[in-house]
Amino acid sequence: MNPERPFCLMPFIHYHVGNAGNVKACCVANIPYGNCNKQAFNEIWQGEAINKLREKFKKGESDPRCAVCLKLEEAGGKSIRQETHERFPTFKGYEAIYQPIYFDIRFSNACNFACRTCWHGASSSWFPEAKQLKRSLGQSALLKNINDFENFISETGEALFQAEEIYFAGGEPLMSEEHYALLHYLIENKHTKLRLRYNTNFSVLEFKGHRILDYWKQFEHVEILASIDAHGKLGEYIRKGFNWTKFIENREAIRELSHIKFKIAPTISILSIANLPELYKTCLEQDVIRKEDFYINILERPYYYNTKAIPSHIKNTIAKSFEAFYQWANKNSIPQFVLKQFEECITYMQAEDLNQHWSMFLKETELFDKLREESSEELKTVLGI
């Protein structure tokens, strides 16, 4: 037992609101605490479910429902559990359980993209295809997670004033009216020294009269993790709605706010892994990022997009292409922690054989190529399909 460093920090510092208002341990583990639309904040934060998990983690024990992080760590990747320990190193004891300091609030699935690796629960733009394929979560495109924003603020507002970080994801957070209402609430109450952190497709900087730069300039710390899986046409193929030219324009538009940290945050899947070195190099060449501005998300599910499902001979080809990238990186003084992320991608890919899902990947790719009247010769060449 380690009283100062439990197995995972999440139940001591973190409050995550996801689909239908369900409050869970985090965005990857299906460990429910309650529902913010039906219960008071303190009822959830001091409830039986979260306290049971706290006691388990205090003892240094894991939970079977933490499988996503555990599998990722075993395969050589960095999990959300590990990352949270790194990002909140000053956690001492358990006094923090009285108020969370790290929020992950997902107001709805509102999104203007229909990325191939996504689903209706995280994107309203997925609805037409999801309904056609009988994969939708309901009969409407927009799925609201928080039904009453004013009630949410009355319940959670005091806790938000203790927050060190609020993480926004989606859906697309920059297309959520509640997101702007929350920023306005924080500004009005002079709680602007905290860190705002975004996972965003970065396609819109204005929404329904809200100019996001007007908000961001009032906060001391803003970090953008731009969800871009590839550059140019391949990027537009993987993430339907993505436009490389618009992405570059938006990147230029935020340079006026020098305090914003901007990183690319590709999701590592079968669709994106082979192009990853070229994406990074292109973003450096076009001054989109600095050498250190790189953050990966390794996809685990659905398994037919998991890189472990790639046949071994294609895995070997991809691994060899990364070796050439490492040589380039060493000549160009790329930071070691960035190279480690590339290495994690290959280690994870080769850690297990999930080739039984490859045929499903081919079927899914063919299905959506027909539905969207799309095709990617680049992807076919790289994967030999």
d(CA 278, CA 105) in angstroms, rounded, equals 33
pLDDT for the residue 231: 94
Least confident range from 77-86, 182-191, 233-242: namely 77-86
pLDDT for the residue 5: 76
d(CA 197, CA 80) in angstroms, rounded, equals 15
d(CA 94, CA 11) in angstroms, rounded, equals 10
Q: How far apart are the first and last CA of the chain?
A: 50
Query: At residue 88, does pLDDT exceed 90?
Result: no
Taking all residues of the chain, what is their mean pLDDT, rounded to a whole number?
94
CA distances from 27 to 80, 122, 222 (A): 9, 12, 21
Parallel, antiparallel or unpaired: strands 267-268 and 297-298: parallel
pLDDT band of residue 382 (cuts 50, 70, 90) is confident
- pLDDT, tens only, 262-296: 999 999 999 999 999 999 999 999 999 999 999 99
Alpha helices, H only, 254-335: 276-285, 312-331
pLDDT band of residue 324 (cuts 50, 70, 90) is very high
Q: What are phi and psi of 188, to 5 degrees?
A: -60, -35
d(CA 170, CA 182) in angstroms, rounded, equals 15
- pLDDT, tens only, 364-380: 999 999 999 999 888 88
d(CA 35, CA 167) in angstroms, rounded, equals 19
What's the rounded mean pLDDT across residues 236-246? 97
pLDDT band of residue 97 (cuts 50, 70, 90) is low
- pLDDT, tens only, 21-62: 999 999 999 999 999 999 999 999 999 999 999 999 999 999
pLDDT band of residue 383 (cuts 50, 70, 90) is confident
Query: At residue 193, does pLDDT exceed 70?
Result: yes
Domains (ranges, CATH) in the chain?
12-98 (no CATH), 104-265 (3.20.20.70)
Residue pair 125/113 in contact by the 8 Å Cβ criterion: yes
Which residues, including other chains, have CB under 8 Å from residue 312's CB and lie 6 or more apart?
353, 355
20-27 contact pairs (CB < 8 A, 24+):
20/143, 20/145, 21/145, 21/146, 21/147, 22/145, 25/50, 25/53, 25/65, 26/80, 26/104, 27/80, 27/104, 27/106, 27/169
> How wide is the angle at C-alpha 188 spanned by C-alphas 221 and 182, nearest 5°?
65
> How wide is the angle at C-alpha 346 spanned by C-alphas 376 and 321, nearest 5°?
60
- The residues that bridge with 226 in the sheet, in sequence order, are 200, 264
- 358 closest CA partner among 318, 320, 317, 302: 302
222: part of which helix (H) or strand (E)?
Answer: strand 221-226
Query: At residue 1, does pLDDT exceed 50?
Result: no
Query: At residue 173, does pLDDT exceed 60?
Result: yes
Q: How many CB atoms lie within 10 A of CB 54?
A: 17
Query: At residue 335, does pLDDT exceed 50?
Result: yes
Q: How many CB atoms lie within 10 A of CB 277?
A: 19
Query: At residue 95, does pLDDT exceed 60?
Result: no
- pLDDT, tens only, 105-142: 999 999 999 999 999 999 999 999 999 999 999 899 99
CA distances from 37 to 86, 123, 142 (A): 32, 21, 17
Residue 223: strand, helix, or coil = strand
Altogether, the residues listed in the chain come to a count of 385
pLDDT for the residue 381: 81
Residue 302 vs residue 99, higher pLDDT: 302
Give the global pTM: 0.94
